[in-house]
Amino acid sequence: MRILGYSFSLLATVILLTGCIYGDIDKRQRDFITIEAARYCEANHYSYCEIYAQCYRDFLEQMPAMTDSLSAFWGMSRDYLDDKEAPKEMDNIYAQIKDNEKKGREDLSLDYSYLLFPHNRCSSIINAKQYDISNYQEAIDKGIKSYKLYNE
């Protein structure tokens, strides 16, 4: 069968491979974010960083965040190997939220709040401060519910 000049089997293969590749990118981004959360914890000399990182990962897995919002951590630390930035990563994310709110970019603030949501849920493990993302809580909850329905 030919659709738009391409055989259907070739088209199906491309579509399936694209889905697999996207899933790999998503998994790698989530792995990277979990590593960054662990670096944040260790750089601040908190106890129980391994438990915090696993908790963070567990909540991150429930998030509907797309690759664009997951990649927000890439910009938080200018140099991946710069340990001076690691202790401030959550503060930097929160600063991005506030900066985007001033610019009227609540859509970007929501993306960044997806990264603080797991931190807020797990911060009691390491006795770290929480950040006020209450403006986005309803959208986050709605996103989590729809993500769970879609992935069940």
Rounded to 10 degrees, the C-alpha dihedral 49/50/56/58 comes to: -160
Sequence ranges of the domains in the chain: 2-150
**pLDDT tens, position by position, 49-82:** 999 999 999 998 888 765 555 555 555 544 445 5
Return the structure tokens found at 36: 């960054």
**pLDDT tens, position by position, 14-52:** 444 444 444 555 778 888 888 889 999 999 999 999 999
Task: Give the chain's mean pLDDT.
Answer: 78
Rounded to 10 degrees, the C-alpha dihedral 36/37/40/46 comes to: -140
Q: Is the pTM of this model over 0.85?
A: no
